[in-house]
């Protein structure tokens, strides 16, 4: 099968910007995308540059963008991504390009280092042998442990596209692996750091990271687990946690009592920024614009259909949670 490969070409030393170059490849049956990239390099243009190593979806080196989304070239069947006889291959997003499909991964590694991705044991405890961990406890970190640091999630993260200081999904998934490790001694310090600006609460739940993840790390799920653990551990003095609690209070009631089953859009912003003058003043500009355009929510929320079902759901959840605490 012959196909047109539109491949990004860029040399940071001579090119002002990247451009797509067309190659025609006769794709062998069962060939991976990496096989096709090697055909281009070995048979058509030896200057074509990209990263590869294990060819077994273990090292993560060959991650690229295929038709606009991050994939591992060695794990992707060429036939699955060739559409109408064409496929476009570009370097990972959210990272500076060095040459062709090779990106500078330094921002990715710097972000990872910020979450201290190593075990910090309690040195006051002495062990004759290794620090043991139960099978149940190991399962809490098993998914995050499958991360191969390929950068696919980092590439397609929408938050990183606008905020380079955001920790990023890979770093947060790695942080979950140590927060939930029973052998680590810095759980509280880690949760405190992750609760700050540019941390776990800045994720917008677009799910691109988990969609593009080639393993079972699934960063969005790990971020959700971190948020739940932070709230349960009392790290709620931040806009993100207050927003979640305000949502719960507005719909489900305060501490399981009351609750109108409706989202109070006037209460939620104030609850999110906290009882501080600076926080409340920060809401004024957007509040004024909403009023001027007639977008301000009503003072009394309108009744939704089947509101009784919503209230029943929250009551049942509260009962379930109390049963779990016994």
Determine the pLDDT at residue 178. 97
Nearest one of 229, 249, 231 to 241, comparing CA atoms? 231
State the DSSP H helix or E strand holding residue 280, giving kind and residue range, or none if neither. Answer: helix 277-282
CATH 1.10.1060.10, the chain: domain bounds: 106-232
User: Is 275 a residue whose pLDDT tops 90?
Assistant: no
pLDDT tens-digit profile of 177-206?
Answer: 999 999 999 999 999 999 999 999 999 999
Determine the pLDDT at residue 13. 87
* Distance separating alpha carbons of residues 82 and 264, to the nearest angstrom: 48
Nearest one of 73, 63, 78 to 3, comparing CA atoms? 78
Domain covering 106-232: architecture: Orthogonal Bundle (1.10)
Determine the pLDDT at residue 256. 46
Task: Sort strands 102-103 and 2-9 into parallel, antiparallel or unpaired.
Answer: unpaired
pTM of the model: 0.89
Q: Which residue has the higher pLDDT, 306 or 74?
A: 74
pLDDT tens-digit profile of 63-108?
Answer: 999 999 999 999 999 999 999 999 999 999 999 999 999 999 999 9
* Fold annotation for 2-103: Ubiquitin-like (UB roll) (3.10.20)
CATH 3.10.20.30, the chain: domain bounds: 2-103
Average the pLDDT over each of 40-54, 60-74, 204-218, 284-298 and give the range with the smallest value: 284-298
pLDDT tens-digit profile of 198-241?
Answer: 999 999 999 999 999 999 999 999 999 999 999 999 999 999 99
Determine the pLDDT at residue 109. 98
Nearest one of 45, 36, 22, 24 to 79, comparing CA atoms? 36
């Amino acid at each position: 099968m012959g196909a047109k490969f539109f491949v990004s070409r860029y040399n940071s030393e001579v090119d002002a910007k990247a451009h797509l170059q067309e190659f025609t490849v006769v794709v062998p049956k069962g060939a991976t995308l990496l096989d096709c990239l090697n055909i281009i390099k070995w048979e058509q243009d030896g200057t074509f540059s990209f990263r590869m190593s294990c060819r077994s979806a273990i090292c993560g080196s060959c991650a690229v963008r295929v038709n606009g989304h991050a994939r591992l070239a060695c794990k992707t069947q060429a036939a699955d991504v060739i559409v109408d006889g064409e496929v476009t291959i570009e370097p990972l997003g959210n990272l500076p390009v060095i040459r062709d499909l090779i990106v500078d991964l330094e921002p990715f590694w710097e972000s990872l280092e910020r979450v201290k991705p190593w075990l910090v044991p309690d040195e006051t405890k002495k062990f004759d042998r290794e620090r043991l961990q139960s099978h149940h406890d190991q399962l809490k970190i098993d998914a995050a442990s499958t991360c191969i640091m390929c950068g696919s999630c980092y590439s397609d993260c929408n938050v990183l596209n606008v905020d380079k200081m955001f920790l990023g999904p890979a770093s947060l998934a790695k942080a979950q692996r140590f927060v939930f490790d029973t052998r680590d001694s810095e759980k509280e310090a880690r949760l405190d750091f992750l609760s700050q600006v540019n941390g776990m609460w800045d994720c917008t739940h677009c799910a691109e990271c988990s969609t593009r993840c080639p393993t079972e790390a699934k960063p969005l799920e790990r971020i959700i687990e971190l948020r739940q653990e932070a709230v349960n551990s009392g790290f709620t003095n931040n806009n993100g946690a207050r927003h979640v609690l305000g949502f719960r209070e507005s719909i489900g009631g305060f501490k399981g009592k009351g609750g109108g089953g409706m989202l109070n859009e006037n209460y939620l912003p104030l609850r999110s920024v906290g009882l501080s003058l600076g926080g409340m003043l920060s809401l004024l500009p957007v509040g004024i614009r909403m009023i001027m355009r007639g977008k301000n929510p009503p003072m009394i929320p309108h009744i939704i259909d089947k509101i009784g079902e919503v209230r029943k759901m929250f009551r049942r959840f509260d009962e379930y949670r109390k049963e779990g605490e016994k």
